Structure 1
Amino acid sequence: MRQLPFTQGELTLMHEAGRERSWRRGEALLTEGSSPDDVILIGAGLVKVVRQSPNGYTSVLAVRGPGELLGELSCLDGRPRSASAVAMQPVTGVSVLAGRFLRLLEEHGGLALAVLRTVAGRLRDADRRRADQGAYAAGVRVARVLVELAVSHGVPVPDPAGALAVAVTQKDLAGAAGTSRESVVRILRDLHDEGLVTTVRGRLLVTDPDGLARWGSD
């Protein structure tokens, strides 16, 4: 599973500087084009970062979970939000006003360095995804997105042993992999036939994370 980007002390600093909030599934935490009034530290739940294209296609740029920040880039440069953040399930978190967040970074070098590392990691991830779009077929891209989600945000389930539940819809999976929903349906069927994924009670389960990673490396 992923390593949280902030120490407990850094999380406490942000909690003390902000206020608790909650969002319903489907509710926007941040809206593309809005002013950077605050930064949100996710406490529980998953959030998708999305951007709407002029033709109506929605790209899923990332999925964020507990211990991660939303909106820090706009807070740092003062420019409007470049994407929206939407709750994929009920979400709780802490909203820190932009001015307070910037003062925290000025006063606590460790926190500022942690934020910088997070931003650098996200830029690397974005570069890799752009490279994947032109280098790999849709099936490989879908497999890679599933592996990333399973490793970062997957929830272990007792049956089948070793499986990880991934909270993602077919539409969001298509948006994250840069393909159509119809292609995702076909790819998931192929992955199911390979024994790598399955669906149980409406949840997508990665039954063999290592095998899926190997499949996505072909």
Structure 2
Amino acid sequence: MTTERFAHLPHNQAADNNKQPIYEALNELDLLSSRVLEIGSGTGQHGVYFCQNSKNLTWQLTEHPANMAAVLSWHKVAESENIDNLLAPVSFDIAIDNLSQMFNNVYNAPDGFDVVYSANVLHIVSKKFAKHMIDQCADFLIRGQKLVCYGPFKQNQKFTTESNAEFDCWLRSEGYGGINDIADIEVWSQSRLKLTDWLAMPANNFLLVYQKL
């Protein structure tokens, strides 16, 4: 995709900054030939970039119904560039919609998924909806499949950096959920998801991989 084709689109600088490190991490984890369902695609920049650079990857975009305009515009340009492994965005509200009802994930189904991916969502949504999201993912995934989460996390209930502690204070003051602990996801899944890989990423973030038991 040429710069001219997407320069006018809604743009998230953080997504632009972290797309290459995340792509390299997914490659290291051998996840770039998967069928991936993304929860909270934002503008869709990650999906576009990953699909553009890995033709064996299939990526399903989703976004909250109130925020669909940006991801629809990115997908439209991707279509014009023949990035056909990027699937059309689907409106998904974690508060009211159900993954298992909206998407087919029958074992070995051609339109099923291997991985659920979410970047910079869990610390934005409320704790209630973060827990609900993980519970839904644990229901949706089939044994052996994976949940990949990117963003800032605490370790052993401690912030990894002072800047993350300050960021957490700001998030909470603005009404966001705040930074969660790495162990929270296993707890919220009621031990149906197990942490198998974690990679330290730039800007005090982690890429975490949980496997469905």
Common fold, TM-score beyond 0.5? no
* Higher helix fraction (1 or 2): 1
Greater Rg over alpha carbons, structure: 1
Task: Return the TM-score normalized by structure 2.
Answer: 0.30
Task: Return the TM-score normalized by structure 1.
Answer: 0.30
